[in-house]
Amino acid sequence: MGIYSHASFLCYPMLAVPRLINYLRFCCYSVVLLLTASGGLYASTEPLVAPQSQSLWKIQQPLMGTLFTIKVYTDSHQRAQRACEQAFAIAQELQDTLSAKDACSELTKLNAASSLAPYSISETMAHALSIALFYAKASHGAFDPTLGTCLRLWHQSHTRHTLPSAQDLARARASSGWQHLSISGSGSGSHKTATKAIEGLRIDLGGIGKGIAVDAMAHCLQEAGLTRFCISSTSDVLVGDPPPNKTAWEVALGSSSSPAITFHLVNEAISTSGDQHQFIIINGTRYSHIIDPKTGMGLTSQRQVTVRAKTATEADALSTACCVLSDEESQLLLRQCPNAKLIYDTNDHKKGREATISSSDPKRRAHSRVI
Ligand code: AMP
Ligand code: MG
């Protein structure tokens, strides 16, 4: 299916605002990153049509299990459309390469390949795996791109509403561990291979893939000369230069009716990780879709972490890692990443934010909101 069939491309006049608010009210997630800035949801007193003949254009497309949105200021509809379509085409290619769920993706083939022998991979894959391994090392394995088998068990638990057996869990843990994955072939143009040093190692890039896609999309817009943009998925946002006559993009973390925190961003990214979107409750315990590599099970800490960084990739990887780590460990990790800041870190239940919506019950999710 082509991009055009998914993408809704519209100018961002007044009429679009109720549609957008409607979408956000009924969207499937309890926590959303709401983009404001001039022409944003809460900026009712602000003009929606930018001066100096620049209009705000918006294009959306479902990707990587969520909805991606590009907002861009430009004086040319055609230019914006062309650049946004290219950006989405690049993101689609990344999904086709990096998805662990897509039966035909390069990652699925790599996961299926027998271990112990070097396996030829594309530049894109080598790049993604190298970055993932960098954050795995920096976080001492809290961020681990080799938890694919543990994640499979989590999905089975989600379907069956039972915890994995001790035996299955032990097997899954034994077939995980970022130290067992290596990439060879440095330098562009050189032949790249990935080697899985143990049998059954399965890679999952869900903790970093959206960030990589958002950065690639931003690069594409910048190449086309479009610098005033905001690219977002449900949990990741990257902005470029501010909107015309503004000093920053405003990004609010919260619900449409009660934004909790507003960030003013210029050429920056933020990413939020936690168990708001995906979790299972078994025997009264809530298990996040983020796996604690020490146990192989979903986290039960109910942490929600937001990280601000220069790139969406870094924000994405660090927010997932900091969910696993304690506050102190997170601070230590952040010290290794001078461009990143841990800006929001709370236990939702303790601090009273809504986080009770079961991801297996779309009706409840749809009518719930963060308070
Ligand atoms: P995010 O929403 O960016 O925090 O990513 C969550 C996704 O990352 C999960 O759905 C898994 O695909 C993957 N994941 C789960 N646990 C980890 C972990 N400890 N390290 C890296 N990726 C993980
Ligand atoms: Mg992440």
Q: Does position 250 have pLDDT exceeding 50, yes or no?
A: yes
Task: Specify the ligand 1 atom closest to the Cα of 277.
Answer: 2
Mutate-to-test residue for ligand 1 from 30, 31, 107, 289, highest number of ligand atoms within 8 A of CB: 289
Q: What angle do CA 118, 107, 219 make, to 5 degrees?
A: 110
For residue 231, the CA-to-ligand 1 centroid distance in Å is 20
For residue 55, the CA-to-ligand 2 centroid distance in Å is 32
For residue 25, what pLDDT is reported?
34
Assign 2 a pLDDT band (cuts: 50, 70, 90): very low
Assign 119 a pLDDT band (cuts: 50, 70, 90): very high
Q: Does position 137 have pLDDT exceeding 90, yes or no?
A: yes
Does residue 324 line the site of ligand 1, with CB under 6 A?
yes
What is the per-residue DSSP string for 237-258? EEE-SPPTT-SSEEEEEE-SS-
Which residue is closest in CA terms to ligand 1's atom 20? 143
Q: Does position 316 have pLDDT exceeding 80, yes or no?
A: yes
For residue 261, what pLDDT is reported?
80
Does residue 236 line the site of ligand 1, with CB under 6 A?
no
Does residue 151 line the site of ligand 1, with CB under 6 A?
yes
Q: Does position 347 have pLDDT exceeding 90, yes or no?
A: no
Does residue 147 line the site of ligand 1, with CB under 6 A?
yes
The amino acid occupying position 32 is: V
pLDDT per position as a tens digit, 83-94:
999 999 999 999
Q: Which of 72-76, 241-245, 339-343, 353-357 has the lowest mean pLDDT?
A: 353-357
Q: Which of 140-149, 189-198, 254-263, 353-362 has the lowest mean pLDDT?
A: 353-362
Task: Specify the ligand 1 atom closest to the Cα of 210.
Answer: 3
Does residue 298 line the site of ligand 1, with CB under 6 A?
no
Does residue 205 line the site of ligand 1, with CB under 6 A?
no
For residue 344, what pLDDT is reported?
65
Does residue 272 line the site of ligand 1, with CB under 6 A?
no
Does residue 318 line the site of ligand 1, with CB under 6 A?
no
For residue 43, what pLDDT is reported?
25
CB 298 within 8 A of CB 289: yes
Assign 345 a pLDDT band (cuts: 50, 70, 90): low
Q: What percent of the chain has pLDDT over 90?
A: 68
Does residue 235 line the site of ligand 1, with CB under 6 A?
yes
Which residue is closest in CA terms to ligand 1's atom 22? 207
Q: What is the DSSP letter of 218?
A: H
Please report which ligand is nearest the Cα atom of 206: 1
**132 phi/psi in degrees, rounded to 5:** -60, -40
Cβ within 8 Å of residue 297, ≥6 positions away: 150, 154, 163, 164, 169, 287, 291
Which residue is closest in CA terms to ligand 1's atom 6? 207
CA dihedral of residues 164, 168, 171, 175 (deg, nearest 10): -50
pLDDT per position as a tens digit, 170-224:
999 999 999 999 999 877 778 999 999 999 999 999 999 999 999 999 999 999 9
For residue 206, the CA-to-ligand 1 centroid distance in Å is 5
| Residue of 68 and 257 predicted with greater confidence | 68
> In 241-267, which positions are buried (b, 16+ CB within 10 angstroms) versus exposed (e)?
bbbeebebbbbbbbbbeebeeebebee
| Closest CA relative to residue 227, chosen from 243, 246, 240 | 240
**218 phi/psi in degrees, rounded to 5:** -65, -40
CA dihedral of residues 289, 292, 298, 304 (deg, nearest 10): -60
User: 361: how many CB neighbours lie within 10 A of its CB?
Assistant: 10
Task: Specify the ligand 1 atom closest to the Cα of 273.
Answer: 4
Does residue 141 line the site of ligand 1, with CB under 6 A?
no
Does residue 320 line the site of ligand 1, with CB under 6 A?
yes
Q: Does position 313 have pLDDT exceeding 80, yes or no?
A: yes
Q: What percent of the chain has pLDDT over 70?
A: 77
Assign 230 a pLDDT band (cuts: 50, 70, 90): very high
